[in-house]
């Protein structure tokens, strides 16, 4: 039973560039959420996707956008990268119809902006 997989595992970008991160949810899950974790901090919620639509959003600027595909996989896009966007980006999946379905996390993509 495959868990949540994310790609790439590491990425280095230059300030001002754009980046796309990818996530495949755990088998059987239909909802994907994205989190940003700065060094030494707890993860912060970016947004959640279900049925290919953004359903909830945290306090992140419009430079952060996403997409969910019919197979439930998801992408996180960040435009006009800033040095402060350097972080571990985590994807989590869950099952929408079970309100208390635990979120299962991938091991993240480490993004470094120089």
- Shortest Å distance, C-beta 35 to other proteins: 8
Which residue's CB is nearer to other proteins, number 89 or number 113? 89
Question: What CA–CA distance (Å, rounded) separates 21 from 92?
Answer: 13
Which residue's CB is nearer to other proteins, number 14 or number 40? 40
Which residue's CB is nearer to other proteins, number 19 or number 89? 89
- Shortest Å distance, C-beta 41 to other proteins: 8
Q: Which residues contact 44 (CB under 8 A, 6 or more apart)?
A: 35, 36, 37, 38, 58
């Amino acid at each position: 039973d495959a868990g949540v997989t994310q790609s790439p595992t590491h990425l280095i970008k230059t300030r001002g560039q754009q980046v796309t991160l990818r996530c495949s949810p755990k088998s059987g899950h239909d909802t994907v959420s994205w989190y940003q974790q700065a060094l030494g901090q707890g993860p912060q919620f970016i947004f959640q996707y279900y049925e290919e639509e953004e359903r909830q959003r945290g306090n992140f600027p419009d430079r952060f956008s996403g997409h969910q595909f019919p197979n439930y996989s998801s992408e996180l896009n960040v435009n006009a990268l800033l040095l402060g966007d350097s972080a571990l980006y985590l994807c989590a999946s869950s099952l929408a119809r079970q309100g208390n379905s635990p979120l299962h996390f991938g091991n993240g993509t480490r993004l470094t902006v120089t």
